[in-house]
Structure 1
Amino acid sequence: MIPAHPPITNGLSVDVEDWFQVGAFENVIDRQDWDGLSLRVEDNVLRILDMFAEADVKATFFTLGWVARRNPALMRRIVDAGHELASHGYDHARVFNFDRKQFGADIKLARDILEDTSGVKITGYRAPSFSIDERTPWAYLELAEQGYAYSSSVAPLAHDHYGWSDAPRFAFKPLPWSDLVEIPVTTAILGGKRVAAGGGGFFRVLPYAFSRWAIRQVNRTEQRPAIFYFHPWEIDPAQPRVPNAPIKSRLRHYTNLGKMAPKLRELVQEFAWGRMDMIALQEAGRAAALAA
């Protein structure tokens, strides 16, 4: 009898930001008002840590420097539980709104805070709102110069808020002379087109069966790891409402918040999951083998 192949380990990630820091509300909630709002991220992350412990999985927490500065003990809890801490920038500003100098300052500030609060080296980065695209070729130069090992900052599809539709669907080396690897969030192929299948609002809104199908397609048909993400505020149906936000933004943000945690529990128990730095090592090795 031929032994079954072990399941592919997929990348599990959490974009650690609070409910008021999301792109959907960036034009209606001023950054200067953030400190006066209800901070809920710590309680939600603690719930996520408990969920991951129950399922015995490890993940990567891409965390805003703003959040880390105000929650240093939480950063140590994440690391002490065996998860990876990585950078999500300082205050959720999109990369394509920076120039290279501003971007460099942002990722350095966030990294310094994360390393000071956690006591570990930060080697991974995810751009807020997957905002590395064809407009920001200098972003990878800056990440490589600052010594990052990997980025997971690309959504390889067309979307009204983000997306780089011509980017590769799977991990690639954006700079031929650097070991830096980019690991895009997962898309699946449906009807010959790329569709979002890596978590976030799509996971909340669509039936769980869609995510199961998509991850199985990536694992079984394409023999690659899926990259999944979500946010702490997505398991918090009691969070404050923002009544003056556009209706489209409110629909995206609040739909199915009460259903998210049960769906996540099913997901983390059904598939094999691991930290993004481990996926990056694996994918860098694959890229090197293909180049040899």
Structure 2
Amino acid sequence: MQNGLSVDVEDWFQVGAFERTIDRADWPTLECRVEANCDAVLEIFAEAGAKATFFTLGWVAERYPALIRRIVAAGHELASHGYDHKRVFNMTADEFAADLLKTRAILEDVGGVAVRGYRAPSFSVDARTPWAHRMLAEQGYAYSSSVAPVVHDHYGWPQSPRHAWRPVAGSELVEWPVTTARFAGRTLAAGGGGFMRLLPYGFTRWAIARMNAEGHPAILYFHPWEIDPGQPRVADASIRSKIRHYSGLSAMAGKLKKLLADFDWTRADTLLPAQQARAEPWRAAA
């Protein structure tokens, strides 16, 4: 079974763990490593023969247009991750609509392709943002991968479905959550990122195999900075943030290569028609 592979294109200083430590106004003064890290990711994918979806910040696309064109030229899908990693539940509905429009315009102008997918920064679409899916539908997005059906201190909508669902009545829009696993009566995050870095490789492999056994493709995500153990350290970040961000960096590339060898991977939009066909309504957007 083919599974969905995705990359959230942002730099080390743009992550949610550091948003209270690093001011957005300081971003242009910091060492940018996203281009080199994305090129390393592209090389890993090329060696494995894998295609992926790159959910990309508009901020990055503005500054590294040649990188975006390399991503598209390599046969990967270009999708939106918002402009500058503001969490959706910290925006008003109008601010979110403007962010969607701005970012899509940048990505389509730079990449020269239509942008049909969206992933909220830090999976920040939840019960606090009942208007988010409606706005995605109104702007013509085909799918979102923005809801995490888990309990987490930074995000999560634990009541939401684990598999693809339709959030807006009368719309083709599909919400396709990153992979989770059921264990001991709980839904666990298992689709990559920090959990893939912090936990043994066998857990991620088990979760993907189990999802496939249930008849569903997995959808995996990670960030380019997660394969960069040499990135700058944020000295005044909290201990929790440091553990979350820096643990497992040196092992991540190896884990990724194992997953690429153990499973079949492709772009999210390649798998979308099957998800649209089987997705059931869960709630109507306000």
Query: Which of the numbers 254, 266, 270 marks the counterpart of 2:258?
Result: 266
Task: State whether structure 2 residue 201 is matched by structure 1 residue 208.
Answer: yes
| Matching residue within 220, 236, 244 for 2:236 | 244
Q: Which amino acid aligns with 1:128?
A: P
Q: Deviations over 1:101-136 (max 9, x none)?
A: 000001111111101111101000000000000111
Out of 235, 243, 247, the residue aligned to residue 255 of structure 1 is 247
1:22 aligns with 2:4: no
Shift of 1:285: 1.6
The 2-side partners of 1:43 and 1:114 are apart by 19
Which residue of structure 2 lines up, in the alignment, with residue 105 of structure 1?
98
Following superposition, the deviation at residue 269 of structure 1 comes to 1.2
Is 1:88–2:81 an aligned residue pair?
yes
* Pair 1:174-2:154 in alignment: no
**1:118 alignment counterpart:** 111
Structure 2 stretches lacking a partner, 5+ long: 281-286
SS at the partner of 2:188?
strand
TM (normalized to structure 1)?
Answer: 0.95
Backbone CA RMSD of aligned residues:
0.8
Matched, 1:58 2:51: yes
Equivalent in the alignment of 2:227: 235
Q: Give unpaired runs (5+ residues) of structure 1.
A: 1-7
> Could you tell me the TM-score, scaled by structure 2's length?
0.97
Deviation sequence 1:154-195 (CA, Å, 0-9, x none):
110110000000000000000121000000111101112111
State the AA in 2 paired with 1:58.
K
Aligned equivalents of 1:130 and 1:279: distance in 2? 20
Partner of 2:278: 286
Counterpart of 2:284 in structure 1 is none
The percent of aligned pairs where both chains have the same amino acid is 63
For 1:217, give the aligned amino acid: R
Aligned length: 280
Alpha-carbon separation, structure 2, partners of 1:213 and 1:185: 15
Distance 2:160 2:279 in 1: 16
Could you list the runs of 4 or more consecutive aligned residues of structure 1 that deviate by over 3 angstroms after TM superposition?
A: none
Aligned to 1:79: 72
State the AA in 1 paired with 2:56.
T
In the alignment, the residues of structure 1 paired with residue 119 and residue 279 of structure 2 have an alpha-carbon distance, to the nearest angstrom, of 20
Amino acid at match of 2:105: D
Matches of 1:109 and 1:89, distance apart in 2:
8
Q: Secondary structure at the match of 1:20?
A: helix
